[in-house]
Amino acid sequence: MTVGSIMTRDPETVRQTDTVGRAVELLLGRHYILLPVVDATGRYRGVFDIWDLLGMLLPKAATLDRLVPNLRFMPDDLPGLHTKLEHFSGQALQAHARSDLPTLAPDTPIVEALLLFYRQRSTLPVVETATGQVVGVLSYWDALGAIAGRA
């Protein structure tokens, strides 16, 4: 069994020139974990995921290697967080997409996908190696469902 046989095909993608606000709409509106980011030719350029969104709302230093043990000393400030989200909404995704998440290929063995899920704790994009086009996404739910015979 390979990734190509169980992945969700033709997933929703966003362009590098799309705004953070558009990505937020998709993530929150459709409960996606992750959005593949592509360039004008449709080539895969990275991802923007729910963790990136959470990181944007946190003080930057608090996202670095647990150097700040906790933020319990900060006041409860929902309007402040909303303002911060608004501030990022108009910015292009290009500045916020990241390319360090490993990708899967349609012919990747499922056991390799399980290892990457275990290490990354994330849904992963499936990219055609030759063309660089996003052809699907695979979540750990999809993989475990297939293994359990529920797919």
Partner 1 sequence: MVFGFDPLWTSTAILLITYALIMTERINRAIVALIGAGVMIVSGVITQKQAIAGVDFNTLALLIGMMLLVAVARRSGMFQYLAVWAAKAGRGEPWTVLVLLTLVTAVASAFLDNVTAVLLIAPVTLVLTEQLKVPPYPFLFTEIFASNIGGTATLIGDPPNILIGSAAGLTFNDFVWHLTPVILVVLAAQLVVNHLVWGRRMRADPGARAAVMALEPSATITDHRLLKQALAVFGVVVLGFVTAHQTGLDAGTIALCGAALLLLLDTRGLPIEAQVARINRSFAEVDWITIFFFVGLFAIVAGVQRAGLLDWFAKEIIGLTGGNLAVTAVALIWASALLSAAIDNIPFVATMIPVIQNMAPSFGGPEALLPLWWSLSLGACLGGNGTLIGASANLTVAGIAERAGVPFRFMSFLWYAFPMMLMSIVISTAYVWLRYL
Residue ranges binding partner 1 (CB under 8 A): 59-62, 64, 67-75, 77, 80
Query: Closest separation between CB of residue 64 and partner 1, Å?
Result: 5
Query: Closest separation between CB of residue 59 and partner 1, Å?
Result: 4
Query: Closest separation between CB of residue 65 and partner 1, Å?
Result: 8
Report the residue number, 66 or 150, with the smaller CB distance to partner 1: 66
Query: Closest separation between CB of residue 73 and partner 1, Å?
Result: 4
Query: Closest separation between CB of residue 23 and partner 1, Å?
Result: 20
Report the residue number, 22 or 98, with the smaller CB distance to partner 1: 98
**Environment class of residue 77 by beta-carbon count within 10 Å: exposed (0-12), middle (13-18) or buried (19+)?**
exposed
Report the residue number, 72 or 150, with the smaller CB distance to partner 1: 72
Report the residue number, 60 or 119, with the smaller CB distance to partner 1: 60
Report the residue number, 69 or 149, with the smaller CB distance to partner 1: 69
The Cα 109–Cα 2 span in angstroms is 5
